[in-house]
Structure 1
Amino acid sequence: MTIGKSARLELIGESAVHLLAERGMRGLTHRAVDEAAGLPLGSTSYYARTRAALLKVALARMTTLEAGEFAEAAAASATGDEPPGLAALLPTDVDGVVDLLAAIVSDAIRDGRDQKIARYELALEATRRSELRKAYDEAGRVFREAAVAVVAALGARDPARQGRFLVAWCEGVMFDSIAGAGWSTPPSHGDIATGLRELLDGMLGSR
């Protein structure tokens, strides 16, 4: 059965992400993606003719996967009959925010290691490729905007600044636990929740 363009791009993107995690940037080639995806040779080159285009396909697929995981976690932590849409699913109380972010961070450490390693590879490559830098920054914008909306709902005095540092804290814990010096002793879900509560208490203590 022939698969459509969008489905094939998804397959190429997911295979590229897997290769980045397994082999690093040097192991990501058009031929390797064809083989990993089980596609005829030349298929990846047809949809992403250059290496820069292939990197963007990988980044786009990973962003879609992470956005879906974020929305699923938000939906799982939501209560009541909220209307559809991510904004409506975001918690507006400290307990809800702690539950949501602790679940996202701990799940990433436990089950999302390969995906995050691939993202770190792309982040480093973005420092060398201006076209990837723009795409990477745009991909991260949705998550930062969500964090700003969350802390604004909690009554933060400076949502843009505090939302940025909330994201940075979560990213730092994930990096330390997945690729940093803390990889052998990652924090528990409870430790992450405690850290988040301490961070939010510090941000919001003088509202």
Structure 2
Amino acid sequence: MRKKTARTERDSGVQDTVVLATLKVIGRMGLAGVTHRAVADEAGLSLGAVTYYCRTRDDLVDAALQSAVDREARRLEALSARLKQDDFTTAPQWIEHLGRWYADELKDNADVHLACYEAFLAAARSEKHQQKVAALQQAWERTAEVALTAAGISSAADRAGIFVAALMGILLEELALPRRGTFARVSSKLTRLIEGWT
């Protein structure tokens, strides 16, 4: 394990390192795998540094899940803003962009997305996680509604929830069964879903 100086451990970036390491642990081992020692080993930090920023295991889990949810919500809001600027005017354009976006995401940031699903499971077991999960769900549905509207889909508000439910299931399958061709599969399934939604 790479040693850190006390000065480095006090740096503001250490907290981000702790959160990212916790996400990686969650991605590999689930919430049950989160311990201060596991996070310290993943981050290359001393146990004391991790404990300083997150005193309890629940603090580690909460910070990591909140970070994953916040990150995804910010990215969805950015995509929504692009859609409002008419970058995508047809459903195929949007589906292609979304497919490529998530194919890259699942390749490079699978841990973060696994943590989002862990957040949903945590919310099913504890009310304290429900607010953050509800915020993420709302961000997904807002973005889907904007996109469906921009693509000329009728009843976009009603269909946004259906689209998001399908997308979440598709992405979960890709995470559970990683293989080549993610973009083609995601795009094909989403395209088939919205066929006839005019």
> TM-score if structure 1 supplies the norm length?
0.75
Q: How many angstroms apart in 2 are the aligned matches of 1:199 and 1:85?
A: 22
CA 1:199–1:19: 2 relative to 1, 3 Å? same
Q: How many angstroms apart in 2 are the aligned matches of 1:70 and 1:173?
A: 17
1:140 aligns with 2:137: yes
Mapped pair 1:118 → 2:115: yes
Structure 1 vs Structure 2 CA RMSD: 3.0
Pick from 51, 56, 66: which aligns with 1:50? 56
| Cα distance change, pair 36–195 in 1 and its aligned pair in 2 (3 A) | closer
Matches within 5 A, 1:71-82: 74=79
- Partners of 2:48 and 2:137 in 1: CA distance: 31
Go from structure 1 to structure 2 and tell me whether the alpha carbon gap of 1:90 and 1:139 turns closer, same or farther (over 3 Å shift): farther
2:191 alignment counterpart: 197
Distance 1:33 1:191 in 2: 34
Structure 1 gaps of 5+ residues are 76-83
Identify which of 22, 30, 34 aligns with 1:24. Answer: 30
Classify 1:159/1:85 alpha carbon distance in 2 versus 1 (closer, same or farther; 3 Å).
closer
Native 8 Å contact 1:12 1:57 kept in 2: no
Q: Which runs of 5+ in 2 are unaligned?
A: 1-6
CA contact (8 A) 2:94 2:147 kept: yes
CA gap of 1:192–1:53, structure 2 versus 1, over 3 A, is same
**When the two structures are aligned, how many residues end up with a matched partner?**
191
Higher share of residues assigned helix:
2
Where does residue 43 of structure 2 map in the other structure?
37
Deviation at 1:16, TM superposition (A): 0.5
Q: CA-to-partner distance for each residue in 1:151-197, whole Å, 9 max, x for gaps?
A: 12223332222111112221111112222xxx266654234323222
Q: Distance in 2 between matches of 1:13 and 1:86?
A: 31
Task: Please state if 1:94 is matched with 2:100.
Answer: no
Give, in whole Å, the separation in 2 of the partners of 1:191 and 1:167: 16
CA contact (8 A) 2:69 2:132 kept: no
Equivalent residue, structure 1, for 2:167: 170
Q: Is the 8 A contact 2:31 2:61 kept in 1?
A: no
2:22–2:39 CA contact under 8 A, matched in 1: yes
| Aligned twin of 2:3 | none
Partners of 1:187 and 1:41 lie apart in 2 by: 40
| 117-126 vs 105-114, greater mean Cα deviation | 105-114
Range moving further from structure 2, 59-68 or 150-159: 59-68
How far apart are the structure 2 equivalents of 1:41 and 1:64? 26
Following TM superposition, by how much is the alpha carbon of 1:14 offset from its aligned partner in structure 2, in angstroms?
0.6
The separation in 1 between residues aligned to 2:195 and 2:40, in whole angstroms, is 49
The whole-number CA distance in structure 1 between the counterparts of 2:83 and 2:63 is 24
What CA distance in whole angstroms lies between the structure 2 residues aligned with 1:147 and 1:90? Answer: 15
